Structure 1
Amino acid sequence: MRAPAGLGSRTVDRWVFDGHIAGTGTQEGTRIVVGRWLASPVGPFADVMVERADGTRLLLAPRDDVAELVAATYDFDAVHVVPVVLAADEVRRRWRLRAGPLTADLTIGPRTAVGHLLTLVPRSRAAAPLVASAVDPVARLLLDGVRTRGTAGRGRREWYTATDQHAVTAVRALWGSEDLGALAPVDPPVRFGFSSVPSAPTVTRVLTTIEIAASPSLPGH
C-alpha cells in the first residue's frame, strides 16, 4: 500500500486508500462525509468528516493512528477519537453508521448518470493519478465543488479516481438526541480539503492517492 516513487531527484511515498465515500446533507444544515475504506496504509477502517450548520468541521475517527493520518491531510476544527461502526447491508442497500454522537442510516439508490460513465474508468492503482488528472477538467464542469486532483494539507498532493457512483435516496441522522432532518444537498460545499463531495447526495467508489515528500513513518509505525 505504501510504495516509493521517483519525482525528479526527489523521493516520494504514495499512500492509496481504496473504498467508498458517501456525502450527504441534512435539512438542519449538517453535512456528513463518510469514508468506508476497504484497504489503506493503516488497514480497513471507517471515518466521518462532519461540517455542522455553523461551519464547525469535525473528524470522527476510530483510532489514534487514523485520526493522526487523516488530520495531517485535511483541515478540522476538532478531532475526536470515538467508536466508529459502519454496517453496509448490500442486499437492502443501506448503510448503518454509529460514530460517537452521530447516528446515521443511509438508503442507497440506483446508479447515477455519472456512475454509468465512471464504470468505464480504468481501475488501476498505478494509473490512478494519471486518470484523475485527465478527468479533473470534466469534474470541475459537471460536479460543482468537486476536484479530482489538488494540494492537500502540508503541501501533499492528492488524486481521486472514481469508478462508480450511486444516489443516496434517504437519510435518518441524529446528533446526540437532535434530529438533523431529512435528506438535503451538500450545500454549501464542505471545506475539509481542496475538493468537496458532489452536491447531490451520493456514494462514490474511489481510489484516493496521497503523495508525500520524503519517507515519514505511518502513525503507529
Structure 2
Amino acid sequence: MKILLLEDELEYQESVSEYLTSLGYEVDAVGDGVAACDKIASGFYHLFILDIKVPNINGFEVIKYIKSLNIDTPIMIMTSLVDINDMAIGYELGCNEYLKKPFELAELKFRVGELMRKYYSVDDKSVVLLNGDFSFNTNKRTLLKNGSMIDLSAKELELVEYLVSNLDAYVSIPELKEQVWENKDIEEADIRMHVLKIRNKTSSEFITSKRRIGYKIDAKKV
C-alpha cells in the first residue's frame, strides 16, 4: 500500500519513511506543500501523512486541495501543533487522525494500521470483477490485479471508473469528452494516449477499442 508523507524536517522524514518502508508500505516523501500537491495530482495513495508547518503552502491547504479533487483517501496530520484550534481546523477540513510530535514509532505503526484496516477492508459488494484478473473497488476507487494496486494518474482513474460504470458496453469518444473531460477542448489523440498509458500499466486487452465506436472494459467471464 502506498503512502504520501509530507514532512520538511529531514530527521523526521527519513525516520518515518524508513520505518514505514520496513513495515511493507511504499512511501513517497516530500518536504513542501507544492511538491505534495504535484504528487497527489499525478498518482493514487492509500494514505496521506501531512505535517502542517511546511514550506510554500501548509498542510491545511494541501488537505483543501485533496478535497477539491474529491479524493476520499484517509488523511493523518503529524505535527507539533497542539493548540485545540489547530486540531479543530484539521478535523473540520477532513483529516481522519491526528498524531502529535514527538511520538513513538510503535504509535505510528498502530495508527497507520488502524486507518488501513478501517478504510481498506474488503467489501465484496463494492468490488467489480473485470476480465484478466483485474478488479475495481468502487468505494475506494482503486484498480487491482490479483490484489495488487495499479498506480493510475487522477485522469486515468476517472477514465477507468467511467468505463467500469458502463461495463461491457462501448463508450463513444464524444461521451468520454463530455463525462470524463467535462467538454474541455481535448483532441481524440489525447484520449488515445490516456488509453495507451492505462494499457501499458495493465494489459493490451484491458480496454477494448472499436474504430468509430469507442472504448469499453469487460466484466470477468464466468
What's the TM-score once normalised by structure 1's chain length? 0.23
Q: Who wins on radius of gyration, i.e. which is larger?
A: 2
| Structure that is richer in helix per residue | 2
What's the TM-score once normalised by structure 2's chain length? 0.23
Using CA pairs under 8 Å that are at least 6 residues apart, name the structure with larger relative contact order, 1 or 2: 1
